[in-house]
Structure 1
Amino acid sequence: MTYKDRGLPTPEKILNFIELLNTENNDNQSKELQPWLPFCEGKCSFCYFTINCEKDYVIPYILALKKVLNSYSKTNYVRSSIFNELYIGGGSPSVISNEEIVDLLEFCRANFNLNSDHITKFTACTTNLSLEKIKTLSSNNISQLDIGIQTFNDSIRKNLLIRDSGRDAKEKLRLAKKNGLQISIDLLYNLPGQTLDQWLDDIKQAIELEVESVDCYPLDLYPDTTLAKKISTGEIPPINNQEIELKMYLEAYKIFKNNGYHPTCHNRFSRIREDFRKPASEVIGTGAGFFMGHINRFLYSDEEDIQKYILAAENDIFPIARLTNLSKEDEMRKAMMLIYIRVPVNRTSFKREFGKFPEQMFPRTLEKLSKEGLIEVQNGNIQLTEKGDPWRFNIAWEFFNK
């Protein structure tokens, strides 16, 4: 199930959701707070997210965002929750002013129970990372910048409508690291016209920059994007076949491991300890286009349209566009999805939570994946094998086949 498959927020679902928020949370598990800022300076040609490039909306949107965050913060459930991570996500939040960044950080830290040693991550774009902005982020206890580099190759960057050069982007990364910020970058592979050598050069440059982690994603080509349309008209070359895409991934896997980066999370290779902790059990957040909401048994995503989001906030309504109440069986399937983010599923913990071992719930699926050498059981943990790692998304979805 993706966030697009979640049902509409019927009055009954909303009532049940609010009733849950009025209860106290007693699980003591880690939570992530995620305010979402959908602003960018411009839209990259491959981007399929809902973003906004109109600066006139920034001030009213931030007011609306803080109002909704405040509504969540006053509920019994959130007041009794502890947050280990604050993640400012979205489009490119670094597009807003330094003063607005500081104000939002201070608001979140004042209104939510963030651990004294919580991690704060901030999504940024190199085109608006001035030295002053970098210093603002560093001096306000930002732990890590997440930056969508995609590629350092200038000709490919041009096709992707990325607005600065690979050289300028690298200079911003060096500047951020010099000012004490950890760096995680996104790299895309199997891009239009991209050769294996060009991909290997991107990997080499990332390692030379000594970034803390790299998220490697195969290009997900959505038909309505500018990039897909240009490929269909022959204006730019097509992407490679799946065989080459797999080879690109396997080469990345080998090179990163040989250089001290290890696979973790969805698509990440990392050399820092924090990336190997179990992810937050719940994500409490809001914003136009925010889609990662997970509170107890509820999954939710917000209105994508910024005007609808602002209007809902002004009317004291949670701006939820899709809402799903997970059944016990759904929760068990979601627990097995940890395999996708390279987190082993502990058999004993699974039984403690659901009353049965995973092999009792999913006997045929686990037997099939084990026989194919894609998963293994070690020390009571069900985990991916190296053979299974490239297919982890497909493996995780096997648990949703009924």
Structure 2
Amino acid sequence: MIDHPTRDVGFGVYVHWPFCASKCPYCDFNSHVRHQPVDQERFLSAFRREIAHTAARIPGRTVTSVFFGGGTPSLMRPETVGAILDAIGGAWTVDSGAEITLEANPTSVEAERFRGYRQAGINRVSLGVQALNDPDLKRLGRMHSVEEALAAVRVAASIFDRYSFDLIYARPGQTPQAWAAELRQAIGHAVEHLSLYQLTIEPGTWFERLFNAGKITIPDEETGRALYDVTQETCEKHGLPAYEISNHARPGAESRHNLLYWRYGEYAGIGPGAHGRLVTGNARLATSTEKHPETWLSLVEREGHGVIDEEVLTTEAAGDEFLLMGLRLKEGIDPRRFEAFTGRSLQESRVLTLEEEGLIHRDSQRLRVTPTGFPVLNAVIAELAS
């Protein structure tokens, strides 16, 4: 039996910077455009207060990863980033080998800040490239060109030992052949890590309006599956196999912070709209903060934190989340951790059925989704969780 199924995985801090220069039409993240300069000093003070409040609730942790997400964290001054990292270091112990990632847009202006971020303590950047095709970048609402994006990748490579970038596929009109060529080009620039997301039409986005009006189409299910298969085959062939359903890396170069999520570890969510999973005593808490940036700011200034929703997860809910996150990974899960969360074993008859269908594989230590199972992952998880 596993003594503690959460803390052995590590402890991370997620910091959400909610501002963007423009809103991309496909994006449903908590991101906001402001036409006046953001008061970074005031937000920094609020980040410090929320970090201190969280640390008082869960003291004594050792931070193994920090992730600045958004929004567009590369709109922050390097001094702001450094001060937030100082606050995290003052609240908890930061492991000497901690991975500290910042998401960045690959415009030339932001690329010039990279050296400042490195000096502030960032040791890994994740670039939102999204496409290596100028017409598609324009269609996706991106503010950079392919030339600017690749220049930013080169700058990142010259400053950081570790970097990654994102691409979106299954774009309107995209064929498997065109995607394979674009992916090979991307791999030529990606030293160790790529995040490759299949475009989906999210509720409330501008793309949803266009889609419903018949003004854009996305590849049908059969083409989408072919694009997914091309993604897996091309990355595997070029030494960046999938370690998670949408993430590819050379062995040892996986995103440690995202592994913390998928392995269902403990993490604090700091900033507007941030989510956390905290462990206090034997309880696992799901926390979320106020999404609207200025409302969050006022709340923190008044209360010391911006948490507006907090739930003690039942053993059943924790087990479901553990499966939902862990089975996304190529490494799969240790069923003993499921037992530690829930007090029960996975239902053997369901496991056997999925094995017989070739959708999962298990050995003495782990249960994994097979390559056949990954395209129907949600159904596999639903079967195991029920």
**TM-score using structure 1 length:** 0.85
Q: Does 1:347 align with 2:328?
A: no
> Residues of 2 paired with 1:59 and 1:131: CA distance?
22
Q: Does 1:122 align with 2:91?
A: no
Task: State which drifts further: 27-36 or 349-358.
Answer: 349-358
Q: Does 1:268 align with 2:253?
A: no
CA displacement 1:280-332 (0-9 Å, x = unmatched): 511112211213x1112111221111122012101125322333221112222
SS in 1 for 2:298: helix
> Residues of 2 paired with 1:385 and 1:225: CA distance?
33
* CA distance 1:223–1:356, change in 2 (3 Å): closer
In the comparison of the two structures, how many residue pairs are matched? 370
2:120 is aligned to 140
1:324 is aligned to 311
* CA distance 1:276–1:39, change in 2 (3 Å): closer
CA displacement 1:198-231 (0-9 Å, x = unmatched): 3223211211103321111111212421222233
Q: How many Å apart are 1:187 and its aligned residue?
A: 1.3
> Residues of 1 paired with 2:9 and 2:250: CA distance?
25
RMSD after superposition = 2.3
Q: Does 1:51 align with 2:31?
A: yes
1:279 is aligned to 260
> Residues of 1 paired with 2:160 and 2:139: CA distance?
32
* CA distance 1:233–1:346, change in 2 (3 Å): closer
Q: How does 1:287-306 map to 2 (within 5 A)?
A: 287-291=271-275, 293-296=276-279, 297-306=284-293
Q: Does the aligned pair in 2 maintain the 1:126–1:172 contact within 8 Å?
A: yes
Q: Does 1:367 align with 2:352?
A: yes
Q: How many Å apart are 1:143 and its aligned residue?
A: 2.2
1:96 is aligned to 76
* CA distance 1:98–1:80, change in 2 (3 Å): closer
Gaps of 5+ in 2: none
Task: State which drifts further: 248-257 or 326-335.
Answer: 326-335
SS in 2 for 1:332: helix
* CA distance 1:363–1:262, change in 2 (3 Å): same
Q: Does the aligned pair in 2 maintain the 1:94–1:129 contact within 8 Å?
A: no
Q: Which amino acid aligns with 2:318?
A: E
Q: Does the aligned pair in 1 maintain the 2:60–2:92 contact within 8 Å?
A: no
Q: Does the aligned pair in 2 maintain the 1:185–1:211 contact within 8 Å?
A: no
Q: How many Å apart are 1:161 and its aligned residue?
A: 0.8
CA displacement 1:133-183 (0-9 Å, x = unmatched): 111122334221112211111111111110011121011101110123422
Q: Does the aligned pair in 2 maintain the 1:267–1:341 contact within 8 Å?
A: no
1:13 is aligned to none
CA displacement 1:253-306 (0-9 Å, x = unmatched): 001001111211341011140428652511112211213x11121112211111
Q: How many Å apart are 1:353 and its aligned residue?
A: 5.5
Gaps of 5+ in 1: 1-24
Q: Does the aligned pair in 2 maintain the 1:65–1:287 contact within 8 Å?
A: yes
Q: Does the aligned pair in 1 maintain the 2:272–2:289 contact within 8 Å?
A: yes
Task: State which drifts further: 247-256 or 309-318.
Answer: 309-318
Q: Which amino acid aligns with 1:310?
A: L
* CA distance 1:26–1:225, change in 2 (3 Å): closer
1:310 is aligned to 297
**TM-score using structure 2 length:** 0.88
